[in-house]
């Protein structure tokens, strides 16, 4: 990740969007963190995008695959039910 040297609003917004999800404590994100601390507007932007993603991660649980679907699949591909 490129380190934003002169972290303007525009750069910060781009960087946040591109790299959100990476460890913000990493050295590469130092300039970004500094800017976020000093800029309430970007901080709100970052915070709301982050909350959006976190809410989806929490809501989008793993879905249990019905055994019936797997059995049909084995049957279609003429595979044994048990390996």
Partner 1 sequence: MPGREQKNSPTTKQQPDTEWKDYIRRAKLGDKEAIHWIIDEYSQRLYTLFMRLLRNKEDAEDSLQETFITMVQKLPSFRGDAHFYTWLYRIATNIGLMKLRSRQARGGRFAQLSDIDPEKVHAGEIPKWPDQPDMEVLQKETKEILDKAINLLSGPYRAVFILRDIEQFSIEETSKILGITPANVKIRLRRARIFLRNLLGEQFRK
Q: Is 58 in the site for partner 1 (CB under 8 A)?
A: yes
Q: Is 14 in the site for partner 1 (CB under 8 A)?
A: yes
Binding residue for partner 1, selected from 26, 34, 57, 71, defined by CB under 8 A? 57
Q: Is 6 in the site for partner 1 (CB under 8 A)?
A: no
- Give the H/E segment covering residue 41: helix 40-59
Q: Is 5 in the site for partner 1 (CB under 8 A)?
A: no
Closest contact distance (angstroms) between CB of 52 and partner 1 is 4
Cα separation values, 30 from 4, 6, 46, 68, 76, Å: 9, 12, 15, 50, 54
| End-to-end Cα distance, the chain | 44
Backbone φ and ψ of 24, nearest 5°:
-70, -10
39 DSSP assignment: -
Binding site for partner 1 (CB under 8 A): 9-10, 13-14, 17-18, 21, 41-42, 44-45, 47-49, 51-60, 62-66, 69-70, 72-74, 76-80, 83
């Amino acid at each position: 990740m490129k380190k934003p040297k002169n972290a303007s609003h525009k750069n910060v917004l781009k960087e946040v969007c591109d790299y959100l999800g990476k460890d913000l404590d990493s050295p590469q994100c130092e300039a970004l963190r500094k800017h976020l601390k000093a800029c309430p507007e970007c901080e709100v932007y970052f915070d709301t995008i982050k909350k959006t993603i976190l809410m989806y991660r929490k809501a989008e649980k793993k879905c249990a695959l019905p055994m019936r679907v797997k059995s049909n699949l084995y049957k279609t591909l003429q595979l044994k039910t048990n390996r």
